[in-house]
Amino acid sequence: MAYFDAASAVPLHPVARQALLASLDEGWADPARLYREGRKARMLLDAAREAAAEAVGCRADEVVFTASGTRAVHTGVAGALAGRRRVGRHLIVSAVEHSSVLHSAEVFEADGGTVTQVPVNRAGLVDPSHYAAALRPGTALACLQSANHEVGTVQPVAEVAEECRAVGVPLLVDAAQSLGWGPVEGAWSLLAASAHKWGGPSGAGLLVVRKGARFAARGPADERESGRAPGFENLPAIVAAVASLRAVRAEAAQEAARLRELTERIRTRVPELVPDVEVVGDAERRLPGIVTFSCLYADGEALLHELDRAGFSVSSGSSCTSSTLTPSHVLKAMGVLSEGNVRVSLPAGTAEEDVERFLEVLPGAVAGVREKLGAPAAPAAVRGPGEVVVDSLGKRCPIPVIELAKVFGSVPVGGTVRVLSDDEAARLDIPAWCEMRGQEYVGEEPAQRGTAYVVRRVS
């Protein structure tokens, strides 16, 4: 089985395993105690904090260990907002942040705060000038991920941090995807990360709050971790997490070059091997191991199952993998195709032959899914003067797009197709189909049921 989902979690690094086992024997005691066993535990904790600070590029007393990366984000956002509540109640986030950031923003907004979402371009990249425009006197905090978890686009953190620093607003960086590859540059104020992204054990994260950043911990007071992460430290997990971070950093430069070549091979060859594919994410500013593409006329969940049967573990941001059947918020913000979405994220050590085998298997897997879906034997199309109305109510994407494609050839140049759909994903996938096909997306109109998406044939 080829594991190609490193953006979700990485297998435990051998160094992390060794450190975990060793610290289970040496680090079981309370590091707050003064007897011998407690002093041993304290030495391990202090050494881990120093090593983490070196890897991040900060002071040791700015590092707090948390129970997860999500907990680090929640704690960081809430604490920074509370620390600057006298300044104002305005929060800035990008539209493609991890759900942990967006959920924190939702809680803040429900409590009376205001939130500005900064848009991204079609490659998933924010424009620093948009952050600068969103800043205002009452802004308490801005958040920006270092790199996107779904499409791999690396964000201009240093430039955004400089815009924020110029007006005295702290910037919180979610560095979960990138910290294993290197430190985050720029004058950021807070940083969160998660160990299972770089080969450490799950249940270990870190939060960095730089000196000078106002921070007020939420919840009951606790003496541990500067009062910012209550509860007994999971010392074996912390030691293993930091050990693995140092180990992957030592190999990062060489492995990054190798994985970039493999992912560029996938980015180049997938559109050659599979028709009607959109490769998404920035072609240059990207993490070494992530490549994401979407396939027209294919169901994302069915495609993942086909690839799983063929021996490949991949993931998707497709609407089809969500229990709510709504498009990935990242793909939606980018305005790219969501149907048939596949994210390939290669872990360190991925064999070249596994990538080649994936490229051999993929065309057949996509073709098989498309054949199984097909188009309805008798598409419900009602012809009017210069217009075709396709009734796809009650049908989930990619079926509305398939039915659009099936009837589009019968429409004269200048004519339109009106697709009736009540699937939220159609709002993203029909405009994306138009862009891929070079046709005009007129827009959407209310209908008696669902929404009418109007497409005009221009060629």
Q: Is the predicted pLDDT of residue 254 greater than 90, yes or no?
A: yes
Per-residue model confidence as pLDDT tens digits over 406-449: 888 888 999 999 999 999 889 989 998 998 889 999 999 998 88
pLDDT for 384 equals: 53
Separation of alpha carbons 167 and 172, rounded Å: 15
H-run or E-run covering 385: none
pLDDT for 325 equals: 53
Distances (CA, A) of 248 to 10, 11, 179, 180, 355: 11, 12, 10, 6, 21
Q: Is the predicted pLDDT of residue 323 greater than 90, yes or no?
A: no
pLDDT for 440 equals: 94
Q: Is the predicted pLDDT of residue 373 greater than 50, yes or no?
A: yes
Q: Is the predicted pLDDT of residue 378 greater than 60, yes or no?
A: no
Q: How do 440-446 and 387-391 pair as beta strands?
A: unpaired
Answer yes or no: 320 catalytic: yes
Q: How confident is the model at residue 318 (pLDDT cuts 50, 70, 90)?
A: low
Q: Is the predicted pLDDT of residue 332 greater than 50, yes or no?
A: yes
Q: Is the predicted pLDDT of residue 382 greater than 80, yes or no?
A: no
Tokens of 64: 């707090």
Separation of alpha carbons 51 and 402, rounded Å: 54
pLDDT for 292 equals: 96
Phi, psi at 127, each rounded to 5°: -100, 120
Separation of alpha carbons 135 and 131, rounded Å: 6
Per-residue model confidence as pLDDT tens digits over 209-244: 999 999 998 878 777 888 788 888 999 999 999 999
Are 249 and 55 contacting, i.e. CB atoms less than 8 angstroms apart?
yes
pLDDT for 397 equals: 87
Are 162 and 185 contacting, i.e. CB atoms less than 8 angstroms apart?
no
Q: Which residue has the tokens 């960081």?
A: 76
The Cβ of residue 363 has, within 10 Å, a number of other Cβ atoms equal to 14
Find the catalytic residue in 143, 164, 295, 320.
Answer: 320
Phi, psi at 161, each rounded to 5°: -60, -35
What is the average pLDDT score of the chain? 92
Counting DSSP H helices and E strands in the chain, the numbers are 12, 17
Cβ partners under 8 Å of residue 10, min gap 6: 180, 196, 197, 198, 199, 347, 348
Q: How confident is the model at residue 379 (pLDDT cuts 50, 70, 90)?
A: very low
Average pLDDT estimate for 59-70? 96
pLDDT for 128 equals: 98
Per-residue model confidence as pLDDT tens digits over 116-152: 999 999 999 999 999 999 999 999 999 999 999 999 9
